Amino acid sequence: MTDKKLLMGNEAIALGAMEAGVQVVTGYPGTPSTEALETIARYANRCGIYTEWSSNEKVALETAAGAAYSGAKALVTMKQVGLNVASDPLMSLSYIGVKGALVLLVADDPGPHSSQTEQDTRAFGHFANIPVLDPATPQEAYELTKLAFELSHEFEIPIILRTTTRVSHSCGDVVVEAAEPVPVEAIEEGFVKDRRWTIFPKLTAERHPWLESVQEKLSERFSELSFNSVAGSGKIGIIASGVSALYVKEAIEAVRGFEELFTLFRVGTVYPFPEKAALSFLKGIDRLLVAEELDPYLEEQALQLIGKAHLPVDVYGKKNGFFPVSGEYNVDIVIDSLNRALAAYGESLRLSHASPAVSREKLPPLPIRAPALCAGCMHRAVFYAFKQAAKQLKKESQTDTIFSGDIGCYTLGNAYPLNMVDTCLCMGAGISLAGGLYHTNPKTKQVAFIGDSTFFHSGIPAVINAVYNGANITLAVLDNRTTAMTGHQPHPGVGITALGNVSKAIDIADVVRSCGVEYVKIVNTVDPDSLESCIKAAKEAMNFNGPSVLVFKGKCVGITKPDKYYKINPEACTGCGFCIKELGCPVINLDGDKPVIQDNCSGCGLCAQICPSEAICIGGVKL
């Protein structure tokens, strides 16, 4: 029985996984992958699917691997930078293989919209010998998810389902089938002891030839699948995968009557490359245009095949400058690139843009919308407190302070006027960077900021390293009781699981004490008069000789409703603008020559605590 539903790509993946019989789902929240696990979590209790938000992607993959060793069908969700964290177990898993099925949803972020990198998971799959499927639409995402579980079980190897932001977050009609879920309790045999689960060098040497043979078999299989399709019969060949194939399709339609000049080879199973299907396509064309986001993966595969088969086909792609080598594509970018390639070949044919009546050069520039911490965010108060403490330290002892940030909402502490993030690399790295900076800049003070979820993700080993190697640093843990950056998912410190069940909450202060940190203090940021206590705590911790940790506890304003708000008393306000210059709160703006507080104030009271004329008060009436 089938049904048609309007689904986001991530939702389609979730339903495809459930139809495939997924029994264990793990992951770490990361845009643009998050909604896949969240969708499954809504059904998990009713369907008997074990689902968890893990402490990081490495742990998520290892947990899922254990389930797959036991015969379960498992899914792991992450974004492309999360794959870096999970890469250590994944590289070994390709040799060991699995017993049930193991699928990794890895969502790439061309642009990037919310990531540190633009890395291409297709290339990672090639490097790791892990098959990669690359859907272009929510319907394909649904179908390729089911195929991924089928292939993983048949070939006993992990499979990567690689999406991009425009596939994960786009919506479309998806024809789905009703299937009975397979609860985790239905696993019969379970884990069976076998030498194959222990990856010693001897086993690796034995399994490597098997792993290479699997790639050949899958290439043969992929060449027969409809996800690798050829449309058209022209001598101008175009190869594309993922959402880029849709951009090409729209660009070709813009030719208006000359569509027969083109042949499009749309690749849905990108690694191992479907050589037989590609060779059949290449023999029918005399020049090839390659449209793909990020790495020239398809271009390199095509060039190798053309060379091996000695085909007289000219290739136009990233390597010779006809397509952008980075960034997210769209229809207009693809049209421009196709036109450059056609002009270089001597074609007079010109593809028209999707909106020919509007010149992009004539469009007014978009207004600048710099990212900023939310109004009332507890992080702003902590940053401001450390800024004042650092000023006092500088005045008293001529000591400069370096502030190392991390990945999360608090990365925005780098913005004007706070300017409180001097370094930012990857999750958990702020603490380690501070340690490295201390050992090379011993006359400066090092302060690292990390969020509560990131602390559990990858901050703990860095704390241990700082203690072990005597790094004189101060760590500020910004505990707002949620994973705020990706949509307020729970984490080990909250005491709530992905399914909403109550569990043991792991106390951050207890953890750092167990790591050997001698100076640990909990600071409450909820109190509207907490700024002075935050400054005092920051200064005291920075003056401590050795690793020190302050755990700042508060609430994320994104999930709490304010019980009060602040206004500016115009009679008391002198128009000095100190509140704007110091804090950068998005609800405080100038109206003429005086600041005003908008109605969406979150009631933190930080501005009232710093106002030199005491003009800011609850409800606008001075108390």
pLDDT tens figures, 289-331: 999 999 999 999 999 999 999 999 999 999 999 899 999 998 8
Half-sphere exposure of 390 (CA within 13 A, CB side): 18
The two structure tokens encoding residue 291: 């449209």
pLDDT-derived band of residue 347, with 50, 70 and 90 as boundaries? low
- Which residues fall within 8 angstroms of residue 139, CB to CB, at 6 or more apart? 12, 172, 173, 174, 175
Provide Rg for the chain, Cα atoms.
28
pLDDT value of residue 367: 81
Task: Say how many C-beta atoms besides its own lie within 10 A of residue 194's C-beta.
Answer: 9
Final residue of a structural domain among 345, 368, 394 = 345
Q: Is 368 within a domain?
A: no
Tens of pLDDT, residues 524-578 = 987 767 899 999 999 999 999 999 999 999 989 888 888 788 999 988 999 999 9
pLDDT above 60 (res 473): yes
Q: 617 labelled as ligand-binding?
A: no
* Pair (291, 430) in one structural domain: no
Q: Among 95-104, 135-144, 161-170, 357-366, which stretch is predicted with the lowest mean pLDDT?
A: 357-366
pLDDT above 80 (res 358): no
Find the CATH number of the domain harbouring 167. Answer: 3.40.50.970
pLDDT-derived band of residue 115, with 50, 70 and 90 as boundaries? confident
Q: 601 labelled as ligand-binding?
A: yes
Task: Say how many C-beta atoms besides its own lie within 10 A of residue 162's C-beta.
Answer: 26
Please write down the long-range contacts of 505-511, taking CB distance under 8 Å and 24 or more positions apart.
506/456, 508/452, 508/455, 508/477, 508/479, 508/551, 509/549, 509/551, 511/460
The two structure tokens encoding residue 88: 């250590």
* Pair (549, 568) in one structural domain: no
Q: 585 labelled as ligand-binding?
A: yes
- Which residues fall within 8 angstroms of residue 343, CB to CB, at 6 or more apart? none
CB contact at 8 A, 456 and 408: no
pLDDT above 70 (res 359): no
Q: 47 labelled as ligand-binding?
A: no
Q: Which of 303, 233, 241, 306 is CA-nearest to residue 269?
A: 241
- Tell me the β-bridge partners of 560: none
* Pair (499, 547) in one structural domain: yes
The C-alpha atoms of residue 145 and residue 143 are separated, in whole angstroms, by: 5
CB contact at 8 A, 83 and 120: no
Final residue of a structural domain among 322, 345, 368 = 345
Q: Is 358 within a domain?
A: no
* Pair (62, 168) in one structural domain: yes
The two structure tokens encoding residue 521: 């203090």
pLDDT-derived band of residue 357, with 50, 70 and 90 as boundaries? very low
pLDDT value of residue 350: 62
Q: Is 361 within a domain?
A: no
pLDDT value of residue 621: 46
pLDDT-derived band of residue 622, with 50, 70 and 90 as boundaries? very low
Per-residue pLDDT averaged across 379-401, rounded? 94
Q: Is 353 within a domain?
A: no
CB contact at 8 A, 53 and 28: yes
Tens of pLDDT, residues 264-287 = 999 999 999 999 999 999 998 999
5 residue type, one letter: K
SS3 522: strand
What sign results for the dihedral spanned by CA atoms 460, 461, 462, 465? positive
Q: 573 labelled as ligand-binding?
A: yes
pLDDT above 70 (res 44): yes
CB contact at 8 A, 566 and 618: yes
| Residue keyed to tokens 């009332």 | 376
Q: Which DSSP symbol is given to 370?
A: -
* Pair (465, 598) in one structural domain: no
Tens of pLDDT, residues 475-500 = 999 999 888 888 899 998 999 999 88
Mean residue pLDDT across the chain:
90
pLDDT above 80 (res 227): yes
Task: Say how many C-beta atoms besides its own lie within 10 A of residue 43's C-beta.
Answer: 15
Question: Which run of H or of E encompasses 65?
Answer: helix 57-69
* Pair (481, 608) in one structural domain: no
* Pair (87, 151) in one structural domain: yes
Q: 607 labelled as ligand-binding?
A: yes
| Residue keyed to tokens 């340690």 | 435
* Pair (9, 106) in one structural domain: yes
pLDDT above 80 (res 349): no
pLDDT value of residue 600: 86
* Pair (536, 572) in one structural domain: no
Q: Is 41 within a domain?
A: yes
pLDDT value of residue 111: 87
Q: Is 102 within a domain?
A: yes
* Pair (457, 314) in one structural domain: no
- Which residues fall within 8 angstroms of residue 269, CB to CB, at 6 or more apart? 131, 132, 133, 134, 218, 222, 225, 227, 228
Q: Is 251 within a domain?
A: yes
- Which residues fall within 8 angstroms of residue 411, CB to CB, at 6 or more apart? 405, 421, 424
Final residue of a structural domain among 180, 199, 218 = 199
The two structure tokens encoding residue 438: 């201390």
Per-residue pLDDT averaged across 419-427, rounded? 88
Please write down the long-range contacts of 319-327, taking CB distance under 8 Å and 24 or more positions apart.
322/289, 323/290, 323/291, 323/292, 325/296, 326/118, 326/294, 327/110, 327/111, 327/118, 327/293
Q: Is 357 within a domain?
A: no
The domain in which residue 326 lies consists of 229-345
Tens of pLDDT, residues 424-453 = 888 888 998 999 889 888 899 999 999 999
* Pair (389, 520) in one structural domain: yes
Question: How many whole angstroms from its chain centre is CA 326?
Answer: 17
pLDDT value of residue 361: 61
pLDDT value of residue 486: 86
Find the CATH number of the domain harbouring 615. Answer: 3.30.70.20
CB contact at 8 A, 6 and 172: yes
Question: How many whole angstroms from its chain centre is CA 87?
Answer: 15
pLDDT value of residue 362: 66
Find the CATH number of the domain harbouring 248. Answer: 3.40.50.920
Task: Say how many C-beta atoms besides its own lie within 10 A of residue 22's C-beta.
Answer: 28
pLDDT value of residue 348: 52
pLDDT value of residue 394: 94
Per-residue pLDDT averaged across 164-189, rounded? 89
Q: Among 72-81, 127-136, 167-176, 551-560, which stretch is predicted with the lowest mean pLDDT?
A: 551-560
519-524 β-sheet, strand order: 401-404, 445-451, 473-479, 548-553, 519-524
Give percent of the chain above pLDDT 90.
64
Q: 484 vs 511, 559, 604, CA distance in Å?
A: 21, 9, 17
What sign results for the dihedral spanned by CA atoms 600, 602, 608, 611? negative
Total domains in the chain come to 4
- Tell me the β-bridge partners of 555: none
* Pair (109, 11) in one structural domain: yes
